[in-house]
Amino acid sequence: MATTAIAQPEPVGAVSHEARAGKYLSFQLGTEEFAIQVLKVREIMGIQHITAVPHMPSDVRGVINLRGRVVPVIDLRLKFGLEEMEYGQRTCIIVVQLQKDSTVQMGIIVDEVSEVLNLAAADIQNTPDFGSEAAPPYLLGMANVKGKVKILLDIDEILTGSEFGGIRELLHSTPSVN
């Protein structure tokens, strides 16, 4: 494992191994496991009434009332171009606090929340090669926990960036890391 990581060139703008270590909240989206830094998570709640806002892309489901604050909610499945799924008992809204603008909170809808992982720097490896391209900035890396691969996301980049073409390729390419 470690050798593969060293053999790969450091992606441009990638966070150093040390900074990537820490606690992650992992969640499920389709068949994949993703994780985001716990530091950025404000709270996790079950699915609730979402007020639709017109003229918005389909992944922007609308707004919710978070204790008096109006917070936008984004369906991560749709954001990543996955198939839409009906919300159920296990569907969760993870409210995250964006670091770029500390006053902005956003909710992301995921299939289900799994667990909090404590990842050491050695557990995290760089993302596999995207051919000639550098890894997109929203990917922090990958972690292998008990035989399952978790994709570590930089949620700031996901919610403020606009280009997610790479994510589907990544989903297809993940088995090769194992």
Cβ of residue 98: shortest distance to another protein, in angstroms?
11
Q: How far is the CB of 104 from another protein (least distance, A)?
A: 6
Q: Which is nearer to another protein, 59 or 123 (CB)?
A: 59
CB of 156 to another protein, least distance (A): 14
> C-beta of 161: minimal distance to another protein in Å?
13
Closer residue to another protein (CB): 64 or 142? 64
Sheet strands side by side (includes 22-29):
112-119, 22-29, 32-37, 148-153, 139-145, 124-125
Please, what is the minimum distance in Å from the beta carbon of residue 61 to another protein?
12
The residue among 47 and 177 lying less far from another protein, judged by its C-beta, is 47
Rank residues 15 and 71 by Cβ distance to another protein and give the closer one.
71
Residue 28 or residue 160: which is nearer to another protein going by CB? 160
List phi, psi (to 5°) of 120: -85, 160
Nearest to 27 by CA among 14, 17, 38: 38
Residues that bind another protein (CB under 8 A): 49, 51-56, 60, 62-65, 67-72, 104, 106
Residue of 83, 142, 72, 145 lying closest to 111 (CA atoms):
83
Which run of H or of E encompasses 33? strand 32-37
Cα angle vertex 152, ends 146, 156, to 5°? 155
